Structure 1
Amino acid sequence: MSELNLEKLKYPIGKFEAPKEYTTEYISDGIKNIESFPEKLKRETIHLNDEQLDTPYRPDGWTVRQVIHHCAESHMNCFIRIKWALTENNPVIKPYDEVLWSELHDNLTMPIESTLALLEGLHFRLAYIMKNLSPSDLEKSFIHPENNSEYRIKQITGTYAWHGEHHLAHITTLKKHKNWK
């Protein structure tokens, strides 16, 4: 497989690009995307059988099952990070090793239904919080210790809107390639 094709499989919608300006419209669109993600993911995956769920979306990539569980884990971390940023002054968050988490027994074998339900409730809460943030709340931040970078809540809305679409595209691209309905 060529490097170009592998890059397209890794980033089917492209890499995240932060906007020059975080407009009200950009943030609102991100929140709508976050709100609708669980239903889109469920629609694309709930009917897949175990063999399909255990198919990697690319060579040396995660399986569809791992991608679904990863989305829940990543977005739970997002939720906690937003809560910390809203209640503490620029806290240093705890990172996690998403690769090691993806290799745990539950991510490899657990049915997806409970994770899809978790995402539904989690994204309802994420969108609810985000819709009610003031301009000053959107400027609140946390520090990620892996790169010692500061992230503002307004940035997180775009990042996680992209993150959901990024992984959804992994699944839809695989389904199209395999001619799965």
Structure 2
Amino acid sequence: MNLQTLEKLKFPIGEFHKTDSISKTDIENWIATIEAFPSKIKSLTQSLSIEELNWIYRPKGWSIKQVVHHCADSHMNSLIRFKLALTEDVPDIKPYEEQLWAELADGNSNDISPSLQIIEGVHARWVLLLKSFGTKELKKQFFHPGNMKIVSLEENIGVYAWHCNHHLAHIEQALLYKGQF
């Protein structure tokens, strides 16, 4: 497999690209994507067998079950980061080793139902919070020491809408190729 093919498998919808100007419509669309994610991921995964849950989406990539568990971990962390930014002045957030978390017992479990429940609950709270934002809240920021960047909440809404679609595409890809890499 060539490098270009591997990159396409890693980023089936492309990488996130920050726009120079974020509109109200962008924010509304991104929030709608985040709101729809729990039902979409559940629909894609609820009837999968253990064998299918263990299919990978690319060579040396995560299994479907690890993608689901990762989304629960990542989106919990994101909600906390949003709340920190809303209540503190440009707080440093805590990065985590997502690759290592995916190898832990709970990140590699064949039972994805707890993670689907987490995603459903976190997204319900997260969307309620996001829909309450005015201009002031959208401009709030946090510092990410992992990439040494200050990130605004409006940008991070876009990042997580992309993240939702990115991982849904990974699951669809694993199902399409039946994990055969």
Q: What residue in structure 1 maps to residue 12 of structure 2?
A: 12
- Matched with 2:164 is 164
Flag structure 2 segments of 5+ consecutive residues without an equivalent: none
- Partners in 1 of 2:98 and 2:152 — Cα distance? 21
Q: Hey, what does 1:48 align to over in structure 2?
A: 48
Conserved? CA contact 2:50–2:110, under 8 Å? no
Q: Percent identity?
A: 45
Query: Stretches of 4+ moved more than 4 A in 1?
Result: none
Distance 2:65 2:74 in 1: 14
What amino acid sits opposite 1:177 in the alignment? Y
Residue number in structure 1 paired with 2:33: 33
Aligned residue-pair number = 179
Alignment of 1:58-137 (within 5 A): 58-137=58-137
| Partner secondary structure for residue 74 of structure 2 | helix
- For 2:45 and 2:110, locate their aligned partners in 1 and report how far apart those are by CA, in whole Å: 14
Give CA deviations for 1:17-65 in whole Å, capped at 9, x if unaligned: 1122110000000000000001000000111111111111111000100
Native 8 Å contact 2:55 2:178 kept in 1: no
Q: CA RMSD for the aligned pairs?
A: 1.1
Q: Distance in 1 between matches of 2:94 and 2:106?
A: 22
Q: TM-score scaled to structure 1, two decimals? A: 0.96
Instruction: Deviation per CA, 1:69-91: give whole Å up to 9, x if none.
Output: 00010111100000000000110
* 1:97 Cα offset (Å): 0.5
- Normalised TM-score (structure 2): 0.96
- Unaligned segments of structure 1, at least 5 residues: none
